[in-house]
Structure 1
Amino acid sequence: MCRSLKDFYRRSKILHFYLLQAISRGPLAARGFRMGKGDQLLEHVLIKYRWLFVCFFLLPASFLYELWSYFRNLIVFKLSSAPGKHASKVQKVQQQVREWNKNGQQGHMCTARPGWQTMSFRQGVYKKSFYKVEVNLVDVLEIDTENNTVRVEPLVSMGQLSASLAPLGWTIPIVPEIDDLTVGGLILGTGIESSSHQFGLFQHICEEYELVLADGSLVTVTKDSDPDLFYAVPWSYGTLGFLTAAKIMIVPCTKFIKLNYKPVYSLNDAVKEFSEASASKNQFVEGIMFTLNKGVIMTGNMIDEPQPGDKVNKIGLWHKPWFFKHVESFLVTGKTASEILPLRDYYHRHTRSIFWELQDIVPFGNNRLFRLCMGWLMPPKISFLKLTQTDAVKRLYENNHIIQDMLVPITNLKESLQMFNKETKVYPIWLCPFKLPADPGMLCAPKERMFVDIGVYGVPDPSVNFKPMETTRKIEEFVQKCEGFQMLYADTYTTKEEFRRMFDHTLYDRVRSKLACTKAFPEVYDKVSRAARY
């Protein structure tokens, strides 16, 4: 508990430092953002004591929403009502698109889903002016254990899908950690997990897409029936059509996983251990760096049942320490260790603390007493956090906070960690290896290659003089030189020309031309660039 209080104090001081910088002489002041004494006090309270609002308003609201979603999904799944209604819901999407065509194709189209409901840190400016199409598709449609597939609608979440499959002894091969991530976002954007060194990105476990195109027609595509459209859909961000369903591979699963923790105490050892683990036959591989020279490399495999004497750690229980804090404890012992985890607890291990982002919102969230009393309400919905941010709070976070996932060849891991340490000094840092096949599309590789996702989420250390645009530009340039890629849910400051050099648009441009998408949808860059988001 003492250590939690020390972390609380340290993080409060850092946030307070940035608050004063932003108000007095930082980027906000330079942009003409001025506040009187009363406003300064209000902003101080909104940042430093935001936990009050989160704890007493957002947590109860999030709990009630989750409760409603759980029972709604359970009833639909048990009654199998979703498959019968899917066709009529898709027809409504088609009707809206045909209406857009009938009315003269005025402006681009996008989904009507509010920007605050997405997982991106920002909301799209385009949502204010585009023709909005209601795509209310939220159900699991079919679990086919004979053909090893599950058919789902695009707004099905990872928490919802794993809860539907696991009791039946099945899982999708890649289950991204955060419960609220949706199938549509993971396909049209991207998704990754600690099994990706075996299976690739989320798109690589998808076998079929159903889409409503710009003319209102409905098509179902596979890599055999229409390879161009099939491989162009991932990373297209809804700029080729409206995704209405996807068929995804499923594999048998057990109820438990044996997870191994290996502490490392130098950068060279971390790179060596992580690279070797990524090339191994372990089902799950992940790393968390707590400083440039200290981290824990984790490997895991499914097991049928714990053996006598095995320790079972139900890390998903409300009173358990946050997973990344639990992992950090192995640096103290300095010993390699193993334990048994329930599979679903492992899949969603980073949900309760939203990786480690929640410690900057509720700094005492990992305190034992808080976990015992209020841990069952955690975490607040990310969408609710976004919805309740004031403009001033958004600007303050923009200038004093970074969220980035950079995908670089694993051979560039060491220099990448050194670069992030120099430019941001944000810790922890998440490491997740993934296999990039030589498939056509935005992420086009001449041959299969192992990459690593480097996830940086948090408040930069005051010593690095963090500047959002300048710092991110340096990181983007570095990643491009490594022939890597940037996840596009986060801020991207690349120019359109730089963006097209990072991502191969050859197939994408050909498909957009063939399907007459120019009037119907903007290009990907015009939806994801910093200028397109607020």
Structure 2
Amino acid sequence: MADRSSHGATWSAHHARVRAVANALSESTGPVRLRKRTSNLFRPRAELKRTELDVTHLNHVIDVDSGAGVAEVEGMTTYVDLVDATLPHGFAPAIVPELKSITVGGAVTGLGIESSAFRYGLVHDTVRELDVLVADGRVLTCSPDRESDLFFGFPNSYGSLGYATRVRVDLIPVQPWVRLEHTRYRDPDALFEAMAAECGQPGCDYLDGVYFAPDDWVLTRAYLVESLPAGIEASDYTWMRQYWKSLRERGEDYLSIHDYLWRWDTDWFWCSKNIGAHLKPVRLLLGRKRLSSITYQKIMRASRRFPLSLLQHVRPRTESVIQDVDIPIANAAAFLADFEAEIGIRPVWICPFVVPDGRFSLFELRTDTAYINFGFWDLVRSRQPDGHYNARVEALVARHGGKKSLYSSSTYDEETFWSEYNQKAYQELKQKCDPEGRFPGLYEKAVGQG
């Protein structure tokens, strides 16, 4: 573990919290799972008997060093807490994943992304160092130069190798306000050409887009600004108005930096419609505080439990297709055309990103191209066996040379899975970090409901 004792009481308290968790792990036996307050995983999980490791107290921002441009953060810290700690210093994390409930450790072991990714890559590309608690209770400090195999193998391991207790993340300077420029497109090739140009030579600070229909696309460039123009008020999409609808209603907009970073959280992009939260009476009833991804997650999880789970037997049969996939930008338009024909979910989030470093072994991407992350999250009416549409997504991703995130349902057979996610590198890390298999394996977690 990195020695930070000279930094006083804050670091001492951090070390004490980590020791408590490490001791609990080393003193326990058998299979282990985390006890935590939040989760952004959307795949079924079998109720297996495992020792619960309580990591809920590893949720502190330890230090914000604006001079060095880094923050030291415990793994269960949510991004909303990290942003609240950094904005008063005039900084924000280089990548702020779109939902407030996402934790720093989760975004590193998973694959966090947002609209600054066209400059900086994925969340793990902005990590300088991390401490990982492995199965025997040791805490390994990892960086590109120290325990580098685990540093580069931790992303996309989803808690199957160990748990991040501390992460050192890059910060970027920000301004109080953001000017948004929404450009409409009818031609996907033109939109992706514009995104590719920004990836090659960034002219804005943030970049993303939305696919609404084959002839209806929006590209949003966002610029940090020190002040609002005279006579202009910033928009507010935290209650009665919905951000995603504004994209086609206005060409220019202004938000506070805080509201920009969380612009998608209020309506979980557009998924709030699935619980009726797009309706004005429902929004009035919920209020600002409850209009958030955390509320929608609670409702979704409650719907899977008895007796609400009985509703699936009386309503039209559906399959949940909640996926993020990464496609080389040259293949992006063709992928989405095939996706429209076979799956048909709309809208689709479009987030370009670059690959600064190709050494991340469990999610290998090319460094000679930018990628497009497509996010689509909805229910599809189905007469097919459950898993049919998610399997079709996997086939389309493979056809177009892409990669799928593993936070949601996967249907891969084991041979196909390991051909995509580097079985050799994973097995070597598993032997190093968890030789007795106390944590679920990656395939078990991603596909086998572990």
TM-score (norm 1): 0.76
- The match for 2:261 is 347
Q: Distance in 1 between matches of 2:400 and 2:269?
A: 26
Residue-by-residue CA offset, 1:84-143 (whole Å, 9 max, x unaligned): 42212111111122213xxxx43x2221237xx311224522x53122211121111111
Q: Distance in 2 between matches of 1:493 and 1:397?
A: 23
Q: Distance in 1 between matches of 2:404 and 2:206?
A: 23
Please report how far the alpha carbon of residue 342 of structure 1 lies from its aligned counterpart in structure 2 after TM superposition.
0.9
Q: Distance in 2 between matches of 1:383 and 1:374?
A: 14
Q: Distance in 1 between matches of 2:227 and 2:147?
A: 43
Distance 1:397 1:488, change over 3 A: farther
Residue-by-residue CA offset, 1:156-207 (whole Å, 9 max, x unaligned): 1111111111121111110111111111110111100011011010001111
Distance 1:92 1:393, change over 3 A: farther
Q: Which has the larger radius of gyration?
A: 1
1:291 to 210, 213, 227: 213
2:336 to 411, 417, 431: 417
Q: Which amino acid letter does the alignment assign opposite residue 498 of structure 1? A: T
Aligned partners of 2:66 and 2:89 also within 8 Å: no
2:259 paired with 1:378: no
Superposed counterparts of 1:10-409, under 5 Å: 83-100=11-28, 105-106=29-30, 108-113=31-36, 117-125=38-46, 128-136=48-56, 137-281=58-202, 282-309=204-231, 311-319=232-240, 321-330=241-250, 337-362=251-276, 364-365=278-279, 367=280, 371=283, 374-376=286-288, 377-379=290-292, 381-389=295-303, 390=305, 391-393=309-311, 399-409=318-328
What SS does the aligned partner of 1:191 have? coil
Please report how far the alpha carbon of residue 417 of structure 1 lies from its aligned counterpart in structure 2 after TM superposition.
0.8
Distance 1:304 1:398, change over 3 A: farther
Q: Which amino acid letter does the alignment assign opposite residue 321 of structure 2? A: I
Please report how far the alpha carbon of residue 312 of structure 1 lies from its aligned counterpart in structure 2 after TM superposition.
3.5
Please report how far the alpha carbon of residue 275 of structure 1 lies from its aligned counterpart in structure 2 after TM superposition.
3.4
Q: Which amino acid letter does the alignment assign opposite residue 449 of structure 2? A: A
Distance 1:135 1:431, change over 3 A: same
Residue-by-residue CA offset, 1:198-235 (whole Å, 9 max, x unaligned): 10100011111112222212221211122111111111
What SS does the aligned partner of 1:449 have? coil
Aligned partners of 2:325 and 2:402 also within 8 Å: yes
Residue-by-residue CA offset, 1:445-474 (whole Å, 9 max, x unaligned): 3534311111111233x5x86764222212
Aligned partners of 2:105 and 2:163 also within 8 Å: no
Q: Distance in 2 between matches of 1:386 and 1:370?
A: 16
Aligned partners of 1:210 and 1:243 also within 8 Å: yes
Residue-by-residue CA offset, 1:477-510 (whole Å, 9 max, x unaligned): 2212333111111111111111111222333222
Aligned partners of 1:192 and 1:202 also within 8 Å: yes
Q: How many residues end up aligned between the 2 structures?
A: 433
Q: Which amino acid letter does the alignment assign opposite residue 411 of structure 2? A: Y
Please report how far the alpha carbon of residue 256 of structure 1 lies from its aligned counterpart in structure 2 after TM superposition.
1.0
Unpaired segments ≥5 residues, structure 1? 1-79, 331-336
1:476 to 376, 386, 394: 394
Q: Which amino acid letter does the alignment assign opposite residue 404 of structure 1? A: Q
Q: Distance in 2 between matches of 1:303 and 1:353?
A: 25
Residue-by-residue CA offset, 1:342-372 (whole Å, 9 max, x unaligned): 111111001110111111111543x3x6545
Please report how far the alpha carbon of residue 270 of structure 1 lies from its aligned counterpart in structure 2 after TM superposition.
3.4
- Over aligned residues, Cα RMSD in angstroms? 2.4
What SS does the aligned partner of 2:370 have? strand
Distance 1:118 1:308, change over 3 A: same
What SS does the aligned partner of 1:328 have? coil
2:379 to 459, 463, 486: 459
Distance 1:270 1:375, change over 3 A: farther
Distance 1:397 1:160, change over 3 A: farther
2:423 to 505, 510, 524: 505
- The match for 1:496 is 414
Question: What is the aligned-residue identity percentage?
Answer: 21
Q: Distance in 2 between matches of 1:385 and 1:422?
A: 31
- The match for 2:5 is none
What SS does the aligned partner of 2:354 have? strand
Residue-by-residue CA offset, 1:21-68 (whole Å, 9 max, x unaligned): xxxxxxxxxxxxxxxxxxxxxxxxxxxxxxxxxxxxxxxxxxxxxxxx
Residue-by-residue CA offset, 1:244-298 (whole Å, 9 max, x unaligned): 1111111211111111100112334333334334444122111111112201111
Unpaired segments ≥5 residues, structure 2? 1-7
Distance 1:329 1:96, change over 3 A: same
What SS does the aligned partner of 2:318 have? helix
Q: Distance in 2 between matches of 1:435 and 1:224?
A: 23
Q: Which amino acid letter does the alignment assign opposite residue 200 of structure 1? A: G
Q: Distance in 1 between matches of 2:74 and 2:226?
A: 31
Q: Distance in 1 between matches of 2:368 and 2:233?
A: 37
Q: Distance in 1 between matches of 2:385 and 2:256?
A: 41
Distance 1:329 1:525, change over 3 A: same
Distance 1:363 1:253, change over 3 A: closer
What SS does the aligned partner of 2:247 have? helix
Q: Distance in 2 between matches of 1:362 and 1:294?
A: 24
Q: Distance in 2 between matches of 1:394 and 1:344?
A: 38
Aligned partners of 1:288 and 1:431 also within 8 Å: yes
Q: Which has the higher helix share?
A: 1
Q: Distance in 1 between matches of 2:151 and 2:85?
A: 26
Q: Which has the higher strand share?
A: 2
